[in-house]
Amino acid sequence: MENNRGVVFLIIVASLGYFVDIYDLVIFSIVRIQSFHDIGIPEDSMRTNGEYVLNMQMGGLLLGGILWGIIGDKFGRIKVLFGSILLYSLANIANGFVNDIHSYAIIRFIAGIGLAGELGAGITLVSESMHKDKRGYGTMVIAGVGVLGAILAFYVAEYFSWRNAYFVGGGIGLILLVLRLGTFESGLYKGVVSKKVEKGKLSMLFNSKERSLRYLYCLLIGLPIWFVVGIFVTQAPEFGKALGATDVLSAGKGIVFTYIGISLGDIFAGLLAQLTKSRRLVVFLFQLGIIATSVWFLSSAGLTEQRFHWIAFFMGLAVGYWATFVTIASEQFGTNLRATVATTAPNFVRGALIPSTLLFEVFVSRYGIITSGYIMIFLLTAIAIFALSKLKESFNKDLNYLEY
């Protein structure tokens, strides 16, 4: 293990990195309408063009998750932390200059590739550099600080132009890049460099049935998280209409309150795991919380805007096991595959929103939006709880081992 001062610095740098990462991840959703107006997108094309740009960003995240994961295991965690932030910071600055939809989409794709590397590399590096009894605190701080980037993005977009909002995201990323010059490589990774063992080989996740299932279960425990954020909160205006809401619900404000909840949830999940010495128990409790808060939302006839903000906050709190989910994934695999898993897992779970959305739309066409919300959240949470039951407890696990 590294010295305490160095580890604290590493946690601060990883936390700030994830803060910028989340800012840049959500900024398009926040400035979409304003930016589309300025570059001349017709009103009736805004929703479909928005899906096009967001899907390009999602495609970048999926590709980037694989690329950065392999780089992290083959060449080191630090190289991912430097390369990813440089790429997405420059992409965000470039985004401030776009004047047409295709340039916008291509640059969001490049930004997505960069954004994919931050969380997995940060959590892998901190987990490997801290004592096994304390590493939950490190990942808790990273996520708790990180998701607050969404709140900064909202307020920057409120008070400045959308172009300046992109410039701010890119600028703080480049400033952080300088701060990263003082970071050090994981001792566990340095111990593996000279060993003759496959590192970052993606096919290793699929050449053994046991390892494939372990990886699949790691992905499935995160399924409900992005459905709550991507469907319930993002489509708040449509759900509000179906519930007979007294006001038109704002998805932007809903995202702010949800992310405040996620930030506190990540801190609470980390503390609870340290107290109970079980990450599995914590994730199970949070998954029950997802069911409870989703039912609260879907049964809120005559919803007011203020009540929606409270529900969004509590739904965020319930899905706030995001960092715990990534930590579990990283702890389930050996040092030569750890970065690959910790980096691909969160991005594949984000990508799983696409098939979840398609299935949701099938149900909506038959049963309406509210009933479909119930069906999907019960289905996804049941799958996540089943997957959790198949994973071994990883709290206190010695991470100094390899996959062959």
Burial of 142 per CB tally in 10 Å (0-12, 13-18, 19+): buried
pLDDT of residue 282: 97
Stated length of the chain: 404
Euclidean distance between CA atoms 37 and 32, whole angstroms: 9
Q: Return the exposure string of 208-227: e unless at least 16 CB atoms fall within 10 Å of the residue's CB, then b.
A: eeebeebbebbbbbbbbbbb
CA of 226: how far to CAs of 229, 290, 299, 344, in Å?
5, 11, 20, 15
Among candidate residues 298, 302, 288, the one with its CA nearest the CA of residue 371: 298
Handedness of CA 267, 385, 397, 85 (dihedral sign): negative
Say which residue the tokens 């998701």 belong to.
147
- Tokens standing for residue 164: 């300046």
pLDDT less than 70: residues of the chain: 1-3
Residues of the chain by 3-state class (helix, strand, coil), percent to 5: 80, 0, 20
- Tokens standing for residue 267: 């801190």
Euclidean distance between CA atoms 138 and 399, whole angstroms: 15
Q: Are 179 and 13 in contact (CB under 8 A)?
A: yes
Q: Are 315 and 233 in contact (CB under 8 A)?
A: yes
- Tokens standing for residue 30: 């926040």
Q: What contacts 275, CB < 8 A, 6 or more positions away?
A: none
pLDDT of residue 102: 94
pLDDT of residue 3: 61
Q: What is the pTM of this model?
A: 0.86
Q: Are 329 and 218 in contact (CB under 8 A)?
A: yes
Q: Which domains does the chain have, with CATH numbers?
A: 1-183 (1.20.1250.20), 200-395 (1.20.1250.20)
Q: Are 107 and 133 in contact (CB under 8 A)?
A: no
Among candidate residues 220, 223, 399, the one with its CA nearest the CA of residue 212: 220
pLDDT of residue 1: 46
Euclidean distance between CA atoms 93 and 373, whole angstroms: 37
